[in-house]
Amino acid sequence: MGNRESMAERRIDEDDPSELALGSGLYRRARPASEPPSVSNCSSDPELRSEAWGDCATAYELFAEGVTRPFAEDAVRLVKLGTGSRVLDVAAGTGAFALAAARQGAEVLATDFSAEMLSSLDEKCRRLGLTGVTTAEMDGQSLALPDASFDLAASLFGLMFFADHDRGLSELHRVLKPGGRAIVASWASPARVEMMRLLGDATMQAMISLPTAFEPPRWTALADARKLKQRLLGLGFARAHVVSVAHVWTFERAQHLAEILPLATPSSSALFNHLSAEERGRFVAALVDDLQARQGDGPYAVTNEAVIAVATKGAD
C-alpha cells in the first residue's frame, strides 16, 4: 500500500450532503476529476427487486445476526409487548425483530416481498421452536391486510429501502388499532455508521473508478431524527419520538468484514459483481489493511448508529 495516508484518519463531514455512504461504499455528488473516485450503485434501484434480496439472503442472515439483531432487541424494549399482542413486521427480512417480539409472547405476522428471506425465517423458527411467527409474502407499500388489526406495526431496516417512504409509513398507520404503535428503524447519518465509512474508504484506497451517483441513497431521507419525527406526525400519528442507538459489532478476523458486507445487500452485491477480479482483490486488501492498521490482530470492533422511531396512532 506504500506510504499512503491512513484512511482511518480521514473523516466524512456528516453535515455535507455531498458526502454519503451506502453499504457498498462512499457516494458523492459530481466532483472534479482530480478528486478521489466515487461509488455508484452500478444498477438501477437493486433494493426494489425481490429476487435481488433473495440472492443476498444467506449473506444477509450473517450480517443481521451480528449487526441488526441488537437494534431489534432495543426496539422491543421501546414498546409494550406481552402474550397475545398482535404484531406486524414489514420488510422483515430474516426476522430479527419478529423473533425478538415472539420471544416476548407476541403473535407475529412477518411480511416481506422476498420469498427467500421468508423461507430463511420459517426455517429459523422451526430450528428455535418458535410457534408465534407466521410469514406472508407481501408488498409493504400495499399491505393486503385489514385496517386497525394490529397492536404494533414495525419495520426495521426495511421500509428505508422503499420507493415511497410515506406510503410505507401510511400503511403501518392504517393497519394499527387506535392507540397502537409503529416502530421504524433506519441507519443514522452515513458518517455515523462506521461499516459504511470503512467500505467507502477501501473503495477509494483501492483506486476503483466507478460512475458518479448524483442522488443520495433513498434511505438517508429517514436518517435525521427530527425530520423523521415530523414526517410521522404529518402522516397522522398522534405522537412520535426518535432515539439514536449505537452498537459495536465485533468479529475475530479482519477478512470477515470483507466476506460479508460486499454481498449483504443488493446494492453492495451489484457493486462487487461489477468489479474485475483484480479490483476485488485490491478492495479486500485495502479493507483488511485498514482494519489491521487500526486494531492490530483483533478482535475487531465496528460501531454503527441507527435511529429508532416510535409513533402512536390516535384513539378514535
Give 62's strand partners. none
- Please give the backbone phi and psi of residue 309, each rounded to the nearest 5 degrees, phi first: -105, 140
| Mean of pLDDT over the chain | 81
Other Cβ atoms less than 10 A from the Cβ of 278: the count is 9
Q: What is the mean pLDDT of residues 268-282?
A: 80
Instruction: With a cut of 80, say whether residue 215 has pLDDT above it.
Output: no
SS (H, E, C) 42-66: CCCCHHHCHHHHHHCHHHHHHHHHH
Contact between residue 179 and residue 315 where contact means Cβ atoms under 8 Å apart: yes
The region of weakest confidence among 11-15, 45-49, 93-97, 291-295 is: 11-15
Q: Which residue has the cell 445476526?
A: 65
Closest CA to 24 of 301, 250, 283: 283
Of 40-44, 58-62, 73-77, highest mean pLDDT: 73-77
Contact between residue 24 and residue 210 where contact means Cβ atoms under 8 Å apart: no
272 vs 127, residue with greater confidence:
127
Q: How far apart are CA 199 and CA 210, in angstroms?
A: 14
The region of weakest confidence among 27-36, 77-86, 151-160, 288-297 is: 27-36
DSSP state of 89: E
Query: Is pTM beyond 0.85 here?
Result: no
Q: Within 13 A of 229's CA, how many CA atoms are on the CB side?
A: 9
Say what the pLDDT of residue 277 is.
Answer: 85
**Who's near 183: CB < 8 A, 6+ residues apart?**
75, 78, 79, 152, 153, 154, 155, 156, 308, 309, 310, 311
CA distance between the termini of the chain? 64
Say what the pLDDT of residue 191 is.
Answer: 79
Which domains does the chain carry? 7-313 (3.40.50.150)
Of 23-32, 142-151, 188-197, 216-225, highest mean pLDDT: 142-151
Residue 216, preceding peptide bond in cis (omega within 30° of 0): no
Contact between residue 300 and residue 223 where contact means Cβ atoms under 8 Å apart: no
The region of weakest confidence among 128-132, 217-221, 249-253 is: 217-221
Q: What is the mean pLDDT of residues 208-223?
A: 71
Q: What angle do CA 19, 25, 29 make, to 5 degrees?
A: 35
Q: How far apart are CA 66 and CA 205, in angstroms?
A: 26
